[in-house]
A and B are shown apart, each in its own frame.
Chain A
Amino acid sequence: DGGITQSPKYLFRKEGQNVTLSCEQNLNHDAMYWYRQDPGQGLRLIYYSQIVNDFQKGDIAEGYSVSREKKESFPLTVTSAQKNPTAFYLCAITWGQGPFGYTFGSGTRLTVV
């Protein structure tokens, strides 16, 4: 995936548990994004970060949390407050402020059991 790694690829969580999804990049890109994808619904923005130690809520941030302590890493925690967490989660990166488009990770499929 061109220097962006999401792990794990599949994740199972029991109801009431928090779980953290990993997104790591080695391309020295500034901006990182988390999207949620449900069947037939396209991409919905959860959180994004333009620089280290700063992040912004997207359209569906409730029940999620993030951190950006290092440029290379932008982990997403799905908390027990997220009522319907089963989905496919995608991380994306881009650099600078120009229209360079995104590079996506391969995704993590989270299933609540």
Chain B
Amino acid sequence: AQSVTQLDSQVPVFEEAPVELRCNYSSSVSVYLFWYVQYPNQGLQLLLKYLSGSTLVKGINGFEAEFNKSQTSFHLRKPSVHISDTAEYFCAVSDLNAGNMLTFGGGTRLMVKP
């Protein structure tokens, strides 16, 4: 079975600083990777996804992520965060054997301070 590990449960950062949210997965077969964002009392919104091709994926709100197959990682980055980026971020993965089902990480709470 697949597993997804988000190494940090909370990441505090000052406004306008860069941030990296880490995600590692366990699958050794071809994978598809996703990052979602959740604002308080709302559902999850898709930030970006990697299906194939370029390993650097750009998403909404200035976020990007890099797929690293050798390290089985898909870390999310933003060069300069805003207060409005304060939210919970979830990494998810599926593979060829999983069809359309996703396995989610435990989430990382990004807390942007003024």
Contacts and interface: CB of A to CB of B under 8 A. Distances in A.
Interface of A: 1, 6, 31, 40-43, 48, 50, 88, 90, 92, 94-107, 109
Range for the number of chain B residues in contact with chain A: 20 to 34
Contacts of A102: 44, 46, 102
Given A43-B104, A95-B100, 19 more contacts: A42-B105, A42-B107, A48-B101, A50-B99, A90-B43, A97-B99, A97-B100, A99-B32, A99-B51, A99-B100, A101-B34, A101-B46, A101-B102, A102-B102, A103-B46, A104-B36, A105-B43, A107-B42, A109-B41
Contacts of A6: 43
A5 to B, nearest CB: 11
Interface string B29-66: 00010101000011111100101000000000000000
